Amino acid sequence: MFSSANAIQVTLGGLATGSLYAVILFGIILVFQVSRSINFAYGPTGMLGTFASYALYSEFGLPVWFAVLIGIGVTVLIAALTDLLIIRRLPPQQGFDVVVTLGELLFLTALAQLVFGASAQSYLKLLTDVPVLSRNIFVNGNDVLAVVLGVAVAIGGYFVLNSTSLGVSLRAAAADPSVAQSVGINVRGLRTAAWAVSGVFVAVGAMMFAARLSVNAFYMTPIVINVFIAGMIGGLDRYWPPMLSAFGIALYQSWAMYLFGEAGGVPALFILVIVILAAVPKRLLDERHEARA
């Protein structure tokens, strides 16, 4: 038997988690739509930026906001270099990006373990200690910030992709690089910029999650798996379906864990994926790019 207070608590928790999934997913969608690549090192890239901000704050005593900015910068740099040094040099056959970024995932994770150790570290608070509501339903500043970020990114992202010159350029560069070049779009520069910008989103998501959990070399793995599942369900070639899926699966999983026990969360998610595959198989089989996603 559960109370309405608990129901709201579980829903708000799921909403906050889903908001952060949406923030991270936006970066994945951006990179996929511009360069048709899946970056499996996305999670560790955010993890390293988070660790960098943690080190700057706790070891060097830098102010929180500054440490966070530098951490985001580290992630942006790694993401941009991934495109400049790796993805650009790959032969055009499909599948190389998957293999190479998986290798990068292993490398970055091992690097983090080497430099920062294998233990979890308690991250910056990022408003988790600021209560917003605290009677029967407990909401803190980080929850509110997460939802604000998620909604802002979802709506703002749609606006940018559909109502700005930048969005037009991104779509053209993705669809036909020669046409894009013929109208003055610097396709290669734009692609690297998209990779770099995706770093901002995974860094913000990773830091927010670290504030709610902790930071270690592996913490982003289950998070990014869930984000990729949302992208797969909604389709990385689309916008609103995957973004809404990000919110949806977090709420779904939150409720599944509450109703069926914490151990029910992962199986519940996979049951959902199987049901969707059975109901809408064409989504995942028709287009090569989405099948790969």
Residues that bind another protein (CB under 8 A): 2-3, 6, 9-10, 12-14, 17, 110, 113, 117-122, 128, 134, 138, 140, 156, 159-160, 163-166, 168-169, 171-172, 175-176, 178-187, 209, 212-214, 216-219, 221-223, 226, 250, 253-255, 257-258, 261-263, 265-266
Between 49 and 157, name the residue whose CB sits nearer to another protein.
157
CB 174 within 8 A of CB 239: no
Report the nearest approach of another protein to the CB of residue 261 (Å).
6
Structure tokens at 75: 């992630």
Structure tokens at 207: 């830091």
Report the nearest approach of another protein to the CB of residue 132 (Å).
11
Q: What does residue 215 show for φ and ψ, rounded to 5 degrees?
A: -115, 130
**Cα distances (Å, whole numbers) of residue 66 to 73, 82, 168:** 10, 24, 33
Report the nearest approach of another protein to the CB of residue 1 (Å).
9
107: Cβ contacts below 8 Å, ≥ 6 apart: none
| CA nearest neighbour of 46 among 25, 18, 17 | 25
Report the nearest approach of another protein to the CB of residue 78 (Å).
20
Report the nearest approach of another protein to the CB of residue 220 (Å).
9
Report the nearest approach of another protein to the CB of residue 11 (Å).
10
Instruction: Return the residue matching tokens 């070049």.
Output: 181
Between 96 and 238, name the residue whose CB sits nearer to another protein.
238
Structure tokens at 228: 């990729």
Structure tokens at 159: 């606006």
Helices 64-81 and 42-58: crossing angle in degrees, nearest 10, is 150
Report the nearest approach of another protein to the CB of residue 134 (Å).
6
Buried b (16+ CB within 10 A) or exposed e, 220-251: beebbebbbbbbbbbbbbbbebbbbbbbbbbb
Report the nearest approach of another protein to the CB of residue 258 (Å).
4
Task: List, as one string, the DSSP characters of 224-286.
Answer: HHHHHHHHHHH-TT-SHHHHHHHHHHHHHHHHHHHHH-GGGHHHHHHHHHHHHHHH-THHHHS
